[in-house]
Structure 1
């Protein structure tokens, strides 16, 4: 199969809580593997790529140490493996398992950052997520943020057990949504003219390709660890789980 005709079907957006799957290998290059479909989220939107492991038919275990999209053909997802045995080849069937605890932490923090963006009235200029913390950068010239207030307001939203849903909308409708919702992203990526939107019902709606929890209460308690001045107009807000 030519690399130009390959495509990885993504399972993680529709099944973010699923932890294991089986798939056929469609490409192997050095220590990187492409599967016909995958639950492994590839690095993007501030969310790290998933890790986990593959198991071959003979019981061989292969550690997956990262997941990325192809830089030239983003429909292809590469699973970076620690060591690629000679018998892992195109056409082989594998069983795959996510490092679920790590992924679930990413899901909780990603949703929490959407809440943070909703309570701070300023454009978002950067984002980063890890298993124990997350941060957003805001275009905010004046230092008007307070750690205790951010912590209090976030936990108040989390405790409301607000549903989180996804939907698709035509990219052409996004400018109107931007005006009515105060969405912080003005140039979201579109796939075949459609945007994947993540909505915290009644609180926030944003274009996002990441994985999220279904209810804000799943996030648990968080606290604002630090607010940093990164430049004259940039403020970084760092959150951690309690």
Structure 2
């Protein structure tokens, strides 16, 4: 029942052929998919399953609670494609593009603000990071830093390291609430060349210039030890 996760290696891949392996948890399981499931603070992908003239709307994508390493595609409606049938999986391209741009932008924030992260949310309309610190943030300085890093067009790439390499470099993990998944023998890390390196399984752009114009929409003091930064796209 395991789902091959094509999005881990190519975030630009927007469709693939797949076979239905099961029903449950409100949706459909497939043997492979391009749809990213909710996790690591990033919202799940939406899209469609297509079989000839039939189309099923995928409203969200989640990790199965019952089947390890299996992804559930939540379907709008009660009728589901038959188990064993072949379908084409299509990602909502606009939603994926926003997730990729915002997620990479949060890595730029981590580079600008060297504090542990204790909360994260990446959607198609905004991104936010909560930093564990009591230091005040300068909104204008953060905006200028983001503008600079986007304009500098840093290459963005992922690679895999062993769990032993991560153990030898615990400082790579910036998040206090989400730890890299273990048990597979390797950890996926995201590198913004010359800017940031940390474990991350999300979808990203291939160059910071692709992020486009960002706006720091809000900075909040959420608690004595938490400062929140919210990002949007410039209109």
| TMscore range, shorter length | over 0.9
Matched, 1:229 2:224: no
Distance in 2 (CA, whole Å) between partners of 1:203 and 1:195 is: 19
Q: How does 1:1-242 map to 2 (within 5 A)?
A: 6-29=1-24, 31-57=26-52, 59-85=53-79, 88-143=81-136, 145-179=137-171, 183-185=173-175, 187-242=179-234
Distance in 2 (CA, whole Å) between partners of 1:84 and 1:10 is: 25
Residues 195, 14 of structure 1: alpha-carbon distance in 2 compared, 3 angstrom cutoff: same
- Kindly state the Cα deviation for residue 30 of structure 1 after the two structures are TM-superposed: 6.9
Unaligned runs of 5+ in 1: 1-5
- Kindly state the Cα deviation for residue 227 of structure 1 after the two structures are TM-superposed: 0.7
Distance in 2 (CA, whole Å) between partners of 1:35 and 1:176 is: 36
- Kindly state the Cα deviation for residue 223 of structure 1 after the two structures are TM-superposed: 1.4
Distance in 2 (CA, whole Å) between partners of 1:161 and 1:212 is: 14
Distance in 1 (CA, whole Å) between partners of 2:205 and 2:68 is: 25
Larger CA deviation: 121-130 vs 69-78: 69-78
> Does the Cα contact within 8 Å between 1:50 and 1:66 map onto a contact in 2?
yes
- Superposed CA RMSD: 1.5
Using the size of structure 2 for normalisation, the TM-score is 0.94
Using the size of structure 1 for normalisation, the TM-score is 0.91
Distance in 1 (CA, whole Å) between partners of 2:15 and 2:112 is: 35
Unaligned runs of 5+ in 2: none
Residues 39, 234 of structure 1: alpha-carbon distance in 2 compared, 3 angstrom cutoff: same
